[in-house]
Chains A and B, each alone.
Chain A
Amino acid sequence: MLKQLEELKLNALRELEGITNAGELESWRVRYLGRKSELTRVLRSLATLPLEQRKAVGASANEVKANLEDSLEQKAQALRERQLKVSTKEEPIDVTLPGRYLPTGHLHPITHTLREICDIFGSMGFQVVEGPEVEWDYYNFEALNIPKEHPARDTMATLWADFETESGERPMLLRTHTTSVSARIIETMQPPIRIIVPGKVYRYEASDATHTPMFYQIDGLVVDKGITMANLKGTLYEFSRRFFGEDRQVRFRCDYFPFVEPGAEMAIECLVCGGKGCRLCGNTGWIEILGAGMTHPRVLERGGLDPEVYTSFAFGMGIDRLPMLRYGINDIRLFYGSDLRFLRQF
């Protein structure tokens, strides 16, 4: 029996040397170490042997088994290495390696919001236009029906550029609203006009949870023959439907801005209380979203357009409030604070 085992081992090892691929190696394993192999048969028959023989044969069989298993492992390793050498020679890229993780960044929540709004108006044929942030008093105020000493100037505390004319007037400022660009467009573009103006605006205002000296607005302007207040309402309701959702109630009421007449304000039903009244909406149930109206004939005239020929509507809205409402952000300063922990969430 011991001799038989020795023979089996030698045969197996001899055969193993001649193996050149993984398939052959597997059939070798089945033949010599598998469930139906000679070695397994010997190990199974141990119980039938007399005691003194059982010890010697058992030890020897186990030794052979361990030897064959080791050799198998070595052979397998050798085969793998040879395979690798061959394959790297044939194709230098290892397509099996896992990829490296490359995290993407995030757009600022204001950028997201601006893009969404510009897309909505873009689909209604509005073209995006930009204009200067350092602006003339003329386009920011005068052209918009807000002469010097007009009380409406008090509602837009202005940061003035340190530049005086010979008569001691300060003609330049940081624009207090993006409507200044609409004033420029009326002067330079020929109707039909359908534009939207996103951008930064500035106010002399101390920072707190709801105010910053710089924030974002979007202004819209349409000039053509036959533009009506019904068109204004339709356009704004469509915007609200797409931005705030189908079911959000909308209110369109009379309001005053010097550069429109009739003037209007659009509000939406409060997102927190749904119109019942809460702290966010000051117990009114409504949240003001934008100011609007039919462009004042004097504003069109000043820009060289005949109000008897053309009619026009305009609207303007603050942007920062929209992501604040949508994401429940309670401090506007977070937008301009560059805290990555905050910005990475969008």
Chain B
Amino acid sequence: MKVPLKWLQEYIDITLSPSELANRLTMAGTEVKGIKVIGDWESIVVGQIIAINPHPNADRLYLPTVDVGTEQLTVVCGAPNLAIGDKVAFAYVGAQLIDGHNGQVFRLKSAKIRGVVSNGMVCSEKELGISDIHEGIMVLPPDARVGMPLAEYLGDVIFDLEITPNRPDCLSIIGITREVAALTRQKLSLPEVGYNEAALSIEQHISVEIIASDLCPRYCASLVTGVRVAESPKWMQQRLLACGMRPINNIVDITNYVMLEYGQPLHAFDYDKIKGKKIIVRRAGGGEGIVSLDGVERVLSGDMLVIADEKAAVAIAGVMGGADSEVTEQTTSILLEAANFNPANIHFTGRTLNMPSEACMRFERGIRPELTLPALKRATQLLIQLAGGKAAKGVVDVYPGKLEREPVLLSTAKLERLLGVEFSLDQIIEALTSLSFECKPTSSKSEVLVTAPYWRSDIHQSVDLTEEVVRTIGYDEIPATMLSQPLPRQNPEPIISLKQEVRHSLIGYGFQEIITYSLTGMEMLNRLLPEPHPLKPMPLRLANPMTADQEYLRPNLRANLLAALSENRKHEDWTQVRKIVAGGRRFT
């Protein structure tokens, strides 16, 4: 997962250098595969255009004056979109830029253009290396502070994280922030969510029924009316792009943005296209079809879960929405879904339909049902803020799969028994608390009752807590001790040493050892037979061979040896004796 540093910094103060932060995360289980620095600009600052004069000797050139805080500079510029008051990226002489015409990197020099000296440049996105746009200069949002280095304003560091399958909660910016908070023992501040609601309650607009409650523990929905579908704001688009997602429109972008932020996939339906104003969560009827958002007609099996209205399926649950209920430019009312689905079922559906998606990946790894509501409220808030809608009163929350979290008893002795190093109860509680685990003291001074925070789906027994403690304190604290138990009795299998001896003897006789694939093809096997007749017995076949020449498990190694001979004839002198030996299994 791609995580921009600036997004993290919105929820937590990060004083560590990017490489030290990467190191801490990696050591604690979230591997940082790469660190990409965006915008290592020098001598480029935020400026504001305060005057525009025509060029005395050219019709198409202008002389904008730019305030860069410490001074005001006049340059020659040919961009058609210059406007007084706009914030722009201003490059001093000496800045490194990209030539808008030939794409080459160059260093900006002072130049006389048609008789007027230009001491600097107002830049396009292409010249800054941000995008390919070169039709005009880049206009920065009004909040950009004049004189601020552009790298500070627009630059970012993108971490590429490898999230292990047990941590779906970390497939989110907030999840990663929680990790950072624990590893640096800091507090985090999450976005404040709140919005005004309309008078009419949501129940009067929509009802939700979960029939397949075994596959859908929770279904939450909100309704926002009067939205205007348009482009989402630049900052949101930039964040989506930085995280590897394509901006589409403000509605879809908000669902994706909140998924990245909270880790809870959301889906926006065009409310007016939901027939009967009823959502039904049920298994697909065998052979039931749906046209998914990508325009492909899908045939579903009876094991798959769908979100349906009164008439038909409107989405393949957790995998992809349907084209019929898609948000379009005409859409004015949004039914927003935040639900929880059975991980194995979503995995099965995604795999069977071959539709891997960001949503699918999160559901199949088992995100918690508690996550639905906070994410739904956050997305609803953004819909109101950015798409100008009004929320119906309340949310729908059908929650048949509610489970109480069982506390787990952890003792210092249990920890030491597994780790080989002693931690005090205080150390244990401190580590777990930093991860937001709830620690309840017991009557014993060496035991504590621990409840995992609601977003964690991977904590079931004391070994899970043991890992949490030691990864937060640091794996470097585990000593390296040699095994000291008595040696177990050895019962070596004679065949293992015999194989080794045979191999060695043959090498002594001049044989070259080769290792060959155990998989082979029917054509090769048939060529071993003296005359064409069916192979008996049939060798073991693979159900999903990659290629026809790797379809069967070899019944012997003859084909491998002959193939090796023929391969080497191209460059070996076969008038000399050559000896090769292949060890390995035959499958009969």
* Chain A interface residues toward B at CB < 8 A: 102-108, 110-111, 115, 124-125, 127-130, 133-134, 147-152, 154-155, 159-163, 170, 174, 191-194, 200, 202, 204, 206, 213-214, 222, 224-231, 233-235, 237-238, 251-256, 258, 261-264, 282-284, 294, 296-297, 311, 335-341, 343-344
Q: Chain B: which residue is nearest A198 at the CB level? A: B496
Q: Once bound together, how far apart are the Cα atoms of A40 and B573, in whole Å?
A: 59
Chain B proximity of A263: nearest CB distance (Å): 7
Once the chains bind, are B546 and A204 in contact (CB under 8 Å)? yes
Q: Once bound together, how far apart are the Cα atoms of A262 and B373, in whole Å?
A: 31
From 274 to 322 in chain B, residues with beta carbon under 8 angstroms from any chain A beta carbon are none
Bitwise, B415-433 to A at CB < 8 A (1) or not (0) is 0011111000000000000
Q: Once bound together, how far apart are the Cα atoms of A128 and B352, in whole Å?
A: 40
Bitwise, B473-492 to A at CB < 8 A (1) or not (0) is 00110111111111110111
Once the chains bind, are B503 and A107 in contact (CB under 8 Å)? yes
Q: Once bound together, how far apart are the Cα atoms of A191 and B347, in whole Å?
A: 37
Q: Once bound together, how far apart are the Cα atoms of A191 and B513, in whole Å?
A: 37
Q: Once bound together, how far apart are the Cα atoms of A211 and B419, in whole Å?
A: 35
The residues of A that contact B506 with a CB separation of less than 8 Å are: 105
Given contacts A204-B546, A253-B475, A297-B463, contact A149 B347 (CB under 8 A): yes
Once the chains bind, are B485 and A192 in contact (CB under 8 Å)? yes
Given contacts A106-B507, A206-B546, contact A151 B365 (CB under 8 A): yes
Q: Once bound together, how far apart are the Cα atoms of A40 and B225, in whole Å?
A: 134
The residues of A that contact B491 with a CB separation of less than 8 Å are: 127
Query: Known pairs A151-B165, A254-B467, A341-B571. 11 more at Cβ < 8 A?
Result: A115-B500, A127-B491, A159-B546, A160-B544, A194-B487, A228-B419, A255-B29, A256-B29, A261-B464, A283-B35, A335-B515
Once the chains bind, are A108 and B365 in contact (CB under 8 Å)? no
Once the chains bind, are A338 and B580 in contact (CB under 8 Å)? yes
- Residue B385 is within 8 A (CB to CB) of chain A in the complex: no
The residues of B that contact A151 with a CB separation of less than 8 Å are: 165, 343, 347, 364-365
CB<8 Å pairs between A and B, sample of 10: A102-B510, A147-B344, A162-B543, A194-B483, A226-B485, A253-B26, A255-B31, A294-B463, A296-B463, A338-B516
Partner among B167, B510, B587 whose Cβ is within 8 Å of the Cβ of A104: B510
Q: Chain A: which residue is nearest B343 at the CB level? A: A149
- Residue B511 is within 8 A (CB to CB) of chain A in the complex: yes
Chain A proximity of B369: nearest CB distance (Å): 18
Q: Once bound together, how far apart are the Cα atoms of A272 and B442, in whole Å?
A: 53
- Residue B53 is within 8 A (CB to CB) of chain A in the complex: no
Once the chains bind, are B33 and A282 in contact (CB under 8 Å)? yes
Partner among A103, A214, A238 whose Cβ is within 8 Å of the Cβ of B510: A103
Q: Once bound together, how far apart are the Cα atoms of A336 and B517, in whole Å?
A: 7
Chain A proximity of B571: nearest CB distance (Å): 6
The residues of A that contact B585 with a CB separation of less than 8 Å are: 133, 200
Q: Which 3 pairs between the two chains have the least Cβ-Cβ distance? A: A228-B420, A230-B420, A262-B467
Partner among A224, A252, A263, A296 whose Cβ is within 8 Å of the Cβ of B485: A224
Once the chains bind, are B517 and A127 in contact (CB under 8 Å)? no
- Residue B523 is within 8 A (CB to CB) of chain A in the complex: no
Q: Once bound together, how far apart are the Cα atoms of A200 and B518, in whole Å?
A: 9
Once the chains bind, are A161 and B542 in contact (CB under 8 Å)? yes
Once the chains bind, are B512 and A105 in contact (CB under 8 Å)? yes
Partner among A149, A191, A254 whose Cβ is within 8 Å of the Cβ of B29: A254
Q: Once bound together, how far apart are the Cα atoms of A66 and B271, in whole Å?
A: 127
The residues of B that contact A233 with a CB separation of less than 8 Å are: 478-481
Given contacts A134-B540, A230-B480, contact A256 B165 (CB under 8 A): yes
- Residue B535 is within 8 A (CB to CB) of chain A in the complex: no
- Residue B375 is within 8 A (CB to CB) of chain A in the complex: no
Q: Chain B: which residue is nearest A130 at the CB level? A: B496
- Residue B466 is within 8 A (CB to CB) of chain A in the complex: yes
A110, A174, A251, A284: residue with the most chain B Cβ atoms closer than 10 Å? A284
Given contacts A160-B544, A231-B483, A254-B475, contact A214 B519 (CB under 8 A): yes
Partner among A129, A149, A262 whose Cβ is within 8 Å of the Cβ of B471: A262
Q: Once bound together, how far apart are the Cα atoms of A98 and B578, in whole Å?
A: 23
Which of B106-114, B255-263, B560-568 lines the interface with chain A? B560-568
Chain B proximity of A228: nearest CB distance (Å): 3
Q: Chain A: which residue is nearest B414 at the CB level? A: A308
The residues of A that contact B31 with a CB separation of less than 8 Å are: 253, 255
Q: Chain B: which residue is nearest A267 at the CB level? A: B26
Given contacts A105-B510, A125-B487, A151-B365, contact A234 B481 (CB under 8 A): yes
Q: Once bound together, how far apart are the Cα atoms of A336 and B364, in whole Å?
A: 36
The residues of A that contact B476 with a CB separation of less than 8 Å are: 252
Bitwise, B545-588 to A at CB < 8 A (1) or not (0) is 11000100100000010011001100110000011110111010
Q: Chain B: which residue is nearest A108 at the CB level? A: B513
The residues of B that contact A115 with a CB separation of less than 8 Å are: 500
The residues of B that contact A335 with a CB separation of less than 8 Å are: 515
